């Protein structure tokens, strides 16, 4: 079936994997990637699909309501996968306004534009879908409830989660109460509420997913994994917040993209799904794995770079533990992660080591100047 799908934030980390998957898997769809190209957006992430005849890039700000209205009509959009956001917690602590603007007002602008357009069509909302991509951070922080002497990593078989269940550990479930702590998570929580309110008030056919920490190629090197891989390579200090005790639940980005594909097509309207890998790691243990992997792949002595670890002042309001229960998604739609953590990390480290030029461009701001010139001349 022919469809016209808008993916927002498609030049970012997760968005670029979603665009790539959709362009390749659905040649019968038209895919419009709308992105403002902030510091985090990079069209070089999409070089391998940018020439596809079914792919279009639109440089625009989701907060520009008039532009959103025109664009939805121009491309006759019938499905929206909304990823565009400010996504880095540390930046939100320094500049919360930008997060409220993009994540809250930008989402509202897109919702209202979609509502106006779809309600103006003879068929109304039939066959339409607004898919909002959110985060597990909206739920706040979990206690470290595992028994004395039982420590993460908890990389249980993705399909069972039995380790956690056996120890009675807490998870984020779809009905967990929202309790965001950072300006980033507060802005994402607010956007989730707006999306649900548009369903309850206007009948907008929407779905929301809340995912755990993603890792993999094309992630901006301000986030833990790419930042630390690059620093280890160049023997720069690794700034570990607090004591490195915080726990995150890591999912390989392509598994998230596959879940998005499945939920976009088969998820129940007005429903919420949690997405996660049953793969919890304490930061300090994960960092050791990164050091070990980088050193091995560069032919250095085992754990030679352990002394790069530098404990620094903790992040304000730093959530101690995130862990997602994704059994609903598994039970209802049959999704489970396909990458074991060892394989995902090996691929990821190799990718950053082999793509130093990408990292250098991103960190130098070179790519921003390059694409500004290209779009100024169009
Ligand atoms: P990212 O920062 O890598 O990419 C965000 C993209 O949005 C960039 O391309 C940027 O240019 C674009 N953008 C920002 N403001 C915009 C605006 N006003 N108008 C149009 N485009 C704009 O983020 P990411 O890590 O790929 O995250 C994508 C989405 O997934 C976000 O909504 C985030 O909250 C969510 N999420 C991320 C993770 C994770 O671990 N990275 C986990 C769960 C959910
Ligand atoms: O849980 C999903 C969220 O995961 C997404 O919604 C966010 O967009 C994404 O950025 C990520 O948030 P985190 O804050 O968990 O990711 P980050 O990579 O910034 O940090 C991971 C952990 O590592 C966290 O406990 C903070 C710590 N950290 C991070 C950095 C950048 C350090 O100790 N030192 C660092 O320099």
Ligand 2 mutation pick, 91, 178, 213, 218, max ligand atoms within 8 A of CB: 213
Confidence of residue 60 (pLDDT cuts 50, 70, 90): very high
For residue 317, report the distance from its CA to the centre of ligand 2, in Å: 12
Joined tokens for residue 52: 């596809």
Q: What is the distance between the alpha carbons of residues 346 and 371, in angstroms, rounded to a whole number?
A: 31
pLDDT digits (tens, 9 = 90+) for 44-59: 999 999 999 999 999 9
pLDDT digits (tens, 9 = 90+) for 108-139: 999 999 999 999 999 999 999 999 999 999 99
Q: Is the CB of 139 under 6 A from ligand 2?
A: no
Q: Which ligand is nearest to the CA of 91?
A: 2
For residue 20, report the distance from its CA to the centre of ligand 2, in Å: 25
Residue 167 pLDDT: 65
Contact predicate 344/338, CB 8 Å = no
Q: Out of 137, 254, 280, 295, which one is annotated catalytic?
A: 137
Closest ligand 1 atom to 211 CA: 43
Q: Does the pLDDT at position 157 exceed 80?
A: no
**CA within 13 Å, CB half, 186:** 12
Residue 352 pLDDT: 98
Q: Does the pLDDT at position 237 exceed 50?
A: yes
Residue 164 pLDDT: 64
Confidence of residue 303 (pLDDT cuts 50, 70, 90): confident
For residue 77, report the distance from its CA to the centre of ligand 1, in Å: 21
Residue 278 pLDDT: 85
Q: Look up 39 and say whether it is catalytic.
A: no
- How far does CA 293 lie from the centroid of its chain? 24
- Cβ neighbours of residue 204 closer than 8 Å, sequence gap 6 or more: 111, 114, 115, 118, 125, 130, 195, 198
pLDDT digits (tens, 9 = 90+) for 79-115: 999 999 999 999 999 999 999 999 999 999 999 999 9
Q: What is the pTM of this model?
A: 0.96
Confidence of residue 357 (pLDDT cuts 50, 70, 90): very high
User: Would you state the torsion angle of the CA atoms of residues 142, 146, 147, 152, taken in this order, to the nearest 10 degrees?
Assistant: -130
Q: Out of 55, 125, 184, 371, which one is annotated catalytic?
A: 184
Confidence of residue 277 (pLDDT cuts 50, 70, 90): confident
Q: Which ligand is nearest to the CA of 260?
A: 1
Residue 158 pLDDT: 46
More confident residue, 370 or 189: 189
Ligand 2 mutation pick, 241, 249, 312, max ligand atoms within 8 A of CB: 241
Residue 170 pLDDT: 85
Q: Is the CB of 182 under 6 A from ligand 1?
A: no
Mean pLDDT score of the chain? 93
Share of the chain above pLDDT 90, in %: 84
Residue 163 pLDDT: 59
Q: Does the pLDDT at position 161 exceed 60?
A: no
pLDDT digits (tens, 9 = 90+) for 194-221: 999 999 999 999 999 999 999 999 999 9
Residue 1 pLDDT: 86
Q: Is the CB of 91 under 6 A from ligand 2?
A: no
Share of the chain above pLDDT 70, in %: 92
Contact predicate 272/207, CB 8 Å = yes
Q: Look up 28 and say whether it is catalytic.
A: no
Contact predicate 362/356, CB 8 Å = no
Q: Does the pLDDT at position 287 exceed 60?
A: yes
Q: Does the pLDDT at position 75 exceed 90?
A: yes
For residue 85, report the distance from its CA to the centre of ligand 1, in Å: 4
Residue 39 pLDDT: 94
Name the phi and psi angles at 2, rounded to 5: -75, 135
Q: Look up 241 and say whether it is catalytic.
A: no
**CA within 13 Å, CB half, 263:** 35
Q: Is the CB of 71 under 6 A from ligand 1?
A: no
Q: What is the distance between the alpha carbons of residues 273 and 227, in angstroms, rounded to a whole number?
A: 29
Task: Report the chain's C-alpha Rg in angstroms.
Answer: 20
Q: What is the distance between the alpha carbons of residues 180 and 218, in angstroms, rounded to a whole number?
A: 27
- Cβ neighbours of residue 20 closer than 8 Å, sequence gap 6 or more: 46, 48, 49, 257
Q: Which residue has the tokens 């121009």?
A: 74
Q: Does the pLDDT at position 162 exceed 60?
A: no
Residue 165 pLDDT: 60
For residue 145, report the distance from its CA to the centre of ligand 2, in Å: 21
Contact predicate 183/96, CB 8 Å = yes
Domains present along the chain, CATH in parentheses: 3-375 (3.40.50.720)
Ligand 1 mutation pick, 11, 38, 59, 130, max ligand atoms within 8 A of CB: 38
Residue 159 pLDDT: 45
For residue 315, report the distance from its CA to the centre of ligand 2, in Å: 10
């Amino acid at each position: 079936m022919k469809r016209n799908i808008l993916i927002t934030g498609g030049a970012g980390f997760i968005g670029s994997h979603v665009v790539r998957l959709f362009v390749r898997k659905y040649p019968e769809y038209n895919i419009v990637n709308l992105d403002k190209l902030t510091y985090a957006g990079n069209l070089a992430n999409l070089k391998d699909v940018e020439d596809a005849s079914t792919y279009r890039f639109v440089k625009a700000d989701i907060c520009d309501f008039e532009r959103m209205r025109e664009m939805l009509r121009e491309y006759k959009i019938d499905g929206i996968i909304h990823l565009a956001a400010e996504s880095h917690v540390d930046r939100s602590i320094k500049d919360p306004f930008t997060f409220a603007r993009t994540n809250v007002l930008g989402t509202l602008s897109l919702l209202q534009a979609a509502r106006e357009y779809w309600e103006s069509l003879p068929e109304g909302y039939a066959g339409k879908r607004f898919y909002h991509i959110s985060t597990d951070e909206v739920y706040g922080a979990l206690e470290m409830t595992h028994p004395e002497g039982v420590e993460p990593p908890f990389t249980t078989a993705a399909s069972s989660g039995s380790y956690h269940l056996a120890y009675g550990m807490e998870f984020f479930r779809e009905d967990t109460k929202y309790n965001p702590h950072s300006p980033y998570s507060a802005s994402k929580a607010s956007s989730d509420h707006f999306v649900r309110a548009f369903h309850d008030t206007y009948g907008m056919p929407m779905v929301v997913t809340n995912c755990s920490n993603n890792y993999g190629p094309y992630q901006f090197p301000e986030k833990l994994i790419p930042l630390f891989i690059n620093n280890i390579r160049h023997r720069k200090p690794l700034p570990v917040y607090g004591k490195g005790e915080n726990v995150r639940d890591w999912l390989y980005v392509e598994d998230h993209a596959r879940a998005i594909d499945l939920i976009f097509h088969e998820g129940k309207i007005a429903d919420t799904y949690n997405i996660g890998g049953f793969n919890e790691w304490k930061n300090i243990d994960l960092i050791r794995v990164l050091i070990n992997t980088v050193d091995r792949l560069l032919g250095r002595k085992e754990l030679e770079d352990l002394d790069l670890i530098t404990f620094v002042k903790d992040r304000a309001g730093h959530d101690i533990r995130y862990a997602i229960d994704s059994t609903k998604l598994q039970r209802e739609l049959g999704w489970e992660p396909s990458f074991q953590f060892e394989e995902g990390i090996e691929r990821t480290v190799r990718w950053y080591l082999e793509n130093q030029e990408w990292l250098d461009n991103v960190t130098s701001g070179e790519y921003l100047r390059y694409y500004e010139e290209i779009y100024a001349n169009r």
